[in-house]
Amino acid sequence: MLDLLRRILRTGIVSERLPAPGEPPVDTRGLQEALLGVLGRALCIRHVDAGSCNGCELEIHALNNPYYNLEGAGIRFVASPRHADLLLVTGPVSVNMEEALRRTYAATPDPKLVVAVGDCGACGGLFGESYASIGGVAKVIPVDVTVPGCPPSPVAILQGILAATRKRAAPASSG
Amino acid sequence: MTPLPLSIDSTSLPSNVPARLGVVDREQWLALASAMKSAGAVLLSLWGTDDRDRDGRFRVRAAYLLRHEVVVVEHPMPATAPSYPGLEDRFPVAARLQRTTADLLGVVAEGGDGRGWVQHGRWSRQAFPLRRDSDPVPRTAASEPYRFVSVSGDGVHEIPVGPVHAGTIEPGGFRFSVVGEKVLRLEQRLGYTHKGVARRFEQLSQREGHRLAARLSGDSAVAFSWAYCAALESITGTPVPPRAAALRALALERERIANHLGDLGALGNDAGFAAGLAQFSRLKEDLLRENARALGARYLLDWVVPGGVATDLASERMGVEAAQLAALEATVLELKTLYDEHPGLQDRFREAGRLSAEVVEKLGAVGLAARASGMGQDLRIDMPWPPYDWLEPRLIQQSTGDVAARVQVRFGELLESIRLCQTLLARLPDGAIRVEVPIASPDRLGLGLIEGWRGPVMIALHCGAEGAIRRCHGHDPSWQNWPLLEHAILDNIVPDFPLINKSFNLSYSGHDG
């Protein structure tokens, strides 16, 4: 136990300041306020792999490491679409996953946001469109923001998530 | 080399490891499978090809992995009767490979399971995407229900899981039959991420194929792209410069380190030790950031290229790399002690998801999962290609076959890979990092085999005319090891499934194709 505490103390706090969409970096408190302004609460994300090569999943995992301190910014990954505000969808959508993706989208309460992650999520990527691949996520469900990259970095994914929440906030504040 | 059993003629096959090709008829196909089983071989892969445009035949090929060589056998069939004897009695892994070959090519194994595997009823069952006259493949409106094997009895109920899972993982279907919390049976249904990569390969040129190979399973990108390039370089007789080979090995070992770091953290987390996840995921992030600084990208999807590698390691980064690896080693050793001495963690790890050596041998498991049960091999040791011929990696094995053993193999391999990286940095040869690879002549077949972090990955590349790809078959070790999970979970409780599953961490994408 003491060894563990020593390890934790020696590691210290490694969390970094989170970037705003399109930079420059802002501190996490500002980010939290921005999120609260949009949603009135923290942001819950449900990830859906609709057929990816698992590269994007690795970077979504990385987003949950201590450097990015997502939970500190009020962002949390949840286990069910029914708890989610935002779907983070990877892959070219395979024909075998099309129905599951549609159902997950339907199970997510309104108002919902969708961020398509990676070149494949954006347009099908190298897999393209074929008998087995439908292509980009937008061919199956409405997409608010796409994050290109193969795979996109955790920071790019985070910026995509923030861009989607801001986009939703914009019409509300103008109306 | 020892002669093939049954006096079958064989020719040497271009590959980075010792490999041979033999052509067999129906009887020899079966007799050879039996002989291979007796010789202790593993059925590494099975795939089919439409050659009706050449000689009016379909072909099915099986690749057997022996201790020191790979034997590929090829069985031609007339176009009018495309069927062959199934191998699942001898090699259980054949069952799903044969179902996939039937789905994609319409070439069927006699007497096998008739259910589709990657075919979920979303494209016409009368259309076979790997037949050269199949374009276009008509889609169908809705998928069909799958006939899971049902278990009946007092108090038995079923838990369906997936294809969308609760965590950030790939999609797949699991059907548990349970009594109380105890698992009586697990049946997997995979194929959800089937993207049609085999057909996609045929639309790419030989010079582009490595990019798709890297994306068969993103977490094994270096292993797969190296396997592809090794096949192409062997076919064309292109020796890779020593510096490029060493840099590829550096990247492959870093890929192994990154995956083990991620999984060791996740294994701690799944057993209720969140501090383990925080520590290991931080170490993994440090490694990925150094990848970006030293090699140009966090994940090296387009870095191994035909003839060499895309970017050189600058001499000023070598010292930083070595220092970072030394610091990583010290921290991993410290965390290993924490894991080893944590009673709560060890209580969850020990005895969970146990696989005996007998089961592992019977199912023909490969890679780290087999090594955790005291079996299996490591291509880097048994068939070393440059630079492993001078690196001399040590074999990491455990005998108990439970989650604890798989955790220990991961720790052992992680530390061994750090040692290999340090050796590579200290002895990195000078010279070019890339050479031109000529266009391969048509109809040549070659193999690339690389020991990725899960186990052996294979690319079988069949060249077409003018730099085209006639057929390319990629094989991930998850094919062998998914059925292991169905056994490992038996008599365990449902809440231990995530932990047991994570101890294997198999690829859905690499399997589904």
Is there a domain that residue B83 lies in?
Answer: yes
In DSSP terms, B43 is beta-bridged to: B64
Last residue of a domain, one of B61, B92, B110: B110
Query: Which tokens belong to A62?
Result: 């990385």
Task: Indicate whether A38 pLDDT > 90.
Answer: no
Each domain of chain A, given as residue ranges in start order, spans 2-168
Q: What's the rounded Cα separation, in Å, for the pair B211 and B224?
A: 9
Residue B38 dihedral angles phi and psi, to the nearest 5°: -65, -35
- Which tens digits make up the pLDDT trace of B257-300? 999 999 999 999 999 999 999 999 999 999 999 999 999 999 99
pLDDT top residue among B108 and A33: B108
Q: Select from B71, B89, B110 the last residue of a domain.
A: B110
The confidence score (pLDDT) of residue B392 equals: 93
For B413-455, the pLDDT digits (tens) are: 999 999 999 999 999 999 999 999 999 999 999 999 999 999 9
For residue B450, the Cα-to-chain-centroid distance in whole angstroms is 9
Closest CA to B223 of B472, B449, B442, B503: B449
Which structural domain range is residue B409 located in?
205-501
Torsion of CA B132, B138, B140, B146, to 10 degrees: 0
- The stretch B46-64 carries a mean pLDDT of 97
Q: How confident is the model at residue B398 (pLDDT cuts 50, 70, 90)?
A: very high
Last residue of one domain, picked from the residues B88, B110, B132: B110
- CB distance A97–B193 less than 8 Å? yes
Q: What is the pLDDT of residues A123-147, one digit of tens each?
A: 999 999 999 999 999 999 999 999 9
Instruction: Give A60's contacts in chain B (Cβ within 8 Å).
Output: 168
In angstroms, the CA A24 to CA B2 distance is: 65
Query: Looking at the DSSP assignment, which residues form a beta bridge with residue A93?
Result: A135
What is the average pLDDT across A50-61?
Answer: 97
Do B381 and B487 fall into the same domain? yes
- Within a domain: residue B225? yes
- pLDDT at res. A19: 65
Q: How many CB pairs under 8 A join A and B?
A: 163
* Domain at A2-168, CATH class: alpha beta
* Nearest-by-CA chain B residue for A56: B218
Please determine, for residue B9, whether its predicted confidence score (pLDDT) is greater than 90. no
Residue B184 maps to a domain: no
Calculate helix-pair angle for B242-270, B274-295, nearest 10 degrees: 160
**pLDDT tens digits for B372-397?**
999 979 999 999 999 999 999 999 99
Name which of A13, A69, A78, A96 to mutate to probe chain B: the one with the most chain B Cβ atoms within 10 A of its Cβ.
A96
In a domain, B82, yes or no: yes
Q: Please give the helix or strand (H or E) that residue A71 lies within, else none.
A: none
Give the tens place of pLDDT for each residue, B169-226. Answer: 999 999 999 999 999 999 999 999 999 999 999 999 999 999 999 999 999 999 999 9
| B174 domain residue, yes or no | no
Q: Which residue of B has its CA nearest to A14?
A: B282
State how far the Cα of B9 lies from the Cα of B3, in Å rounded to an integer: 9
What is the predicted ipTM?
0.94
Q: What gap in Å lies between CA B384 and CA B458, rounded to an integer?
A: 15
- Look at residue B86 in the predicted model and tell me its pLDDT: 97
Sheet holding B173-179, edge to edge: B156-161, B173-179, B182-189
Domain membership flag for residue B424:
yes
Distance (Å, whole) CA A65 – CA B287:
13
Helix H or strand E segment including B479: helix B478-488
* CATH assignment at residue B93: 3.30.460.80
Rounded CA-CA distance B482/B188 in Å is 8
Cα–Cα distance measured from residue B131 to residue B48, given in angstroms and rounded to the nearest whole number? 10
Q: A154 with A62: CB under 8 angstroms?
A: yes
| B57-65 vs B70-78, strand pairing mode | antiparallel
Question: Which of A90, A94, A120, A153 to mutate to probe the B interface, most B CBs <10 Å?
Answer: A94
CA–CA gap between residue B89 and residue B95 (Å, rounded): 9
Expressed in angstroms, the distance from the first to the final Cα of chain B is 34
* Contact (CB<8Å) B279/A11: yes
B435, two tokens? 């050479």
Q: Is the pTM of this model over 0.80?
A: yes
Instruction: Supply the pLDDT for residue B446.
Output: 98
Identity at B134, one-letter amino acid code = S
One domain for residues B223 and B341? yes
Restricting to A residues 66-85, those with a Cβ less than 8 Å away from any Cβ of B are 66-67, 77, 79-81
Q: What is the 3-state secondary structure (H, E, C) of B84-122?
A: EECCCCCCCCHHHHHHHHHHHHCCEEECCCCCCCCCCCC
Of A54, A80, A104, the CB nearest to B509: A54
Residues B73-109 have pLDDT tens digits of 999 999 998 999 999 999 999 999 999 999 999 999 9
B-proximal residues of A, 6-45, CB under 8 Å: 7-8, 11, 14
Same domain for B468 and B328: yes
Q: Is residue B135 part of a domain?
A: no
Report the chain B residue with the minimal C-alpha distance to residue A49.
B170
Q: Does some domain include residue B122? A: no
Cα distances (angstroms) measured from residue A12 to each of A7, A15, B277: 9, 9, 15
Mean pLDDT of chain B: 95
Q: Residues 6 or more apart from B384 whose CB is under 8 A from it?
A: B391, B392
CB atoms within 10 A of CB A10: 9
Task: With a cut of 70, say whether residue B7 has pLDDT above it.
Answer: no
Rounded to the nearest 10 degrees, what angle do helices B274-295 and A55-63 cross at? 120
> What whole-number distance in Å separates Cα of residue B330 and Cα of residue B342?
19
Q: pLDDT at position A26, please?
A: 44
* Same domain membership, residue B470 and residue B326: yes
Number of domains composing chain B = 2
B362 to each of B42, B291, B483, how far by Cα in Å?
10, 39, 11
Written as one letter, the residue type at B200 is R
Which single residue is written with the structure tokens 């040497």? B12
If pLDDT is split at 50, 70 and 90, which confidence band does A172 have? very low
Q: How far is CA B12 from CA B69, B149, B252, B409, B439, in A?
A: 11, 43, 27, 34, 20
| Cα dist from B281 to B61, B265, B266, B275, whole Å | 41, 6, 8, 10
